[in-house]
Amino acid sequence: MKIGFIGLGNMGAPMAANLAAAGHDVTGFDVAGTTAKGVTAVSGATDAANGADVVITMLPNGDILRNVAAEIIEAMRTGSTLIDCSTVDVDSARAVAAQADAAGILFVDAPVSGGIGGAAGGTLTFMAGGTADAFASAKPLFDIMGQKSVHCGEAGAGQAAKICNNMILGATMIATCEAFALADKLGLERQKMFDVVSTSSGFSWSMNTYCPAPGVGPNSPADNDYTPGFAAELMLKDLGLSQQAAEGVNADTPMGARALELYKTFVEDEDGRGKDFSAMLPRFVARHRS
């Protein structure tokens, strides 16, 4: 299959490399000039899209996606497939889907979970929105880049699943960090807290898999001085997307709203920028009840 890959950053480069390693003919473009193993670099998004059976985008945000999509949809051939794996707002996903549809191109919004490790190891989870035909054409590529793909519904449903998941993640990480800080102040050892909570009803991915306390639980960014992993500013971006979506459909999301406020303060007014999103733990430890 001839694949055009646009956006060869931390996630896109290893994803494109995995497609090339599986034997596909992959052409790649990134404005920053980055490349990926086994991928033929070209000098523009249109060049990557020309003659491709599938074009995949992995870009920073919805505005950039809309601009790139406007350019490449014209260059793509009728019946080909556009897969956007970026995390963007639901409206951008639906707008690009409508443009693609008008041009006779199949579109799937397919944001991912699993981070840089999942991208490199080909173990991502894809949450996909689009028609059954569009999902079917993308599925063999999801199977190379990931270990699981879920067809969530029509266009935009993948992004909806992603922002709901990350709204839960932001809130549970904050809850886990504030509970550890409370436990410290109550004189409860962190290891004991982990032993209890990880097998009790307070367990979550934040506690069990990505424990924010250094030296406790499986290896995580906390054991590497909170080097991301998943940066606090990316969590801030995703919480912003979930609140934007909630406003659009008049949904009451008070925990998501509070999580957004806390990550905004952490990134913009405190020392959270450049740290993993689990670095909320030392923040809570250093603070007192106001």
Could you say whether residue 58 binds ligand NAD (CB under 6 A)? Answer: yes
Could you say whether residue 120 binds ligand NAD (CB under 6 A)? Answer: no
The contact pattern for ligand NAD, residues 229-268, with x = CB under 6 A and - = no contact, is -x---x----------------------------------
- Interface residue with ligand NAD among 18, 81, 86, 137 (CB under 6 A) is 86
> Which residue stretches of the chain are H helix?
12-21, 45-49, 62-75, 90-102, 115-121, 132-145, 157-185, 190-197, 205-208, 232-248, 254-268, 280-286
Tracing tokens 């998004």 back to the chain, one arrives at 45
- Interface residue with ligand NAD among 38, 115, 121, 202 (CB under 6 A) is 115
- Interface residue with ligand NAD among 12, 130, 217, 272 (CB under 6 A) is 12
Contact 208, 198 (CB under 8 A): yes
Contact 66, 40 (CB under 8 A): no
Give the nearer residue to ligand NAD in terms of CB position, either 183 or 239. Answer: 239
Structure tokens at 272: 């959270």
- Interface residue with ligand NAD among 29, 180, 210, 263 (CB under 6 A) is 29
C-alpha neighbours within 13 Å on the C-beta side of residue 87 = 21
Structure tokens at 188: 């409860």
Give the nearer residue to ligand NAD in terms of CB position, either 100 or 181. Answer: 100
Write out the catalytic residue numbers. Answer: 162
Q: How many CB atoms lie within 10 A of CB 175?
A: 17
- Interface residue with ligand NAD among 16, 36, 45, 106 (CB under 6 A) is 45
Residue nearest to ligand NAD (CB): 9
3-state class of 227 per DSSP? coil
Give the nearer residue to ligand NAD in terms of CB position, either 57 or 137. Answer: 57
Contact 278, 232 (CB under 8 A): no
The span of 30-38, 101-109, 144-152, 186-194 binding ligand NAD (CB under 6 A) equals: 30-38
CB of 36 to ligand NAD, least distance (A): 10
Strand partners, 276: 231
In SS3 terms, 68-129 reads as HHHHHHHHCCCCCEEEECCCCCHHHHHHHHHHHHHCCCEEEECCEECHHHHHHHCCEEEEEE
Give the nearer residue to ligand NAD in terms of CB position, either 128 or 183. Answer: 128
The span of 28-36, 94-102, 133-141, 266-274 binding ligand NAD (CB under 6 A) equals: 28-36
Tracing tokens 């424990």 back to the chain, one arrives at 211
Could you say whether residue 210 binds ligand NAD (CB under 6 A)? Answer: no
Interactions with ligand NAD, residue window 60-79 (CB under 6 A): 60, 64, 68
The span of 53-61, 90-98, 204-212, 278-286 binding ligand NAD (CB under 6 A) equals: 53-61
The span of 9-17, 172-180, 241-249, 263-271 binding ligand NAD (CB under 6 A) equals: 9-17
How buried is 19 (Cβ within 10 angstroms: 0-12 exposed, 13-18 middle, 19+ buried)? buried
Residues near ligand NAD, by CB under 6 A? 6-12, 29-32, 34, 45, 58-60, 64, 68, 86-87, 112, 115-116, 230, 234
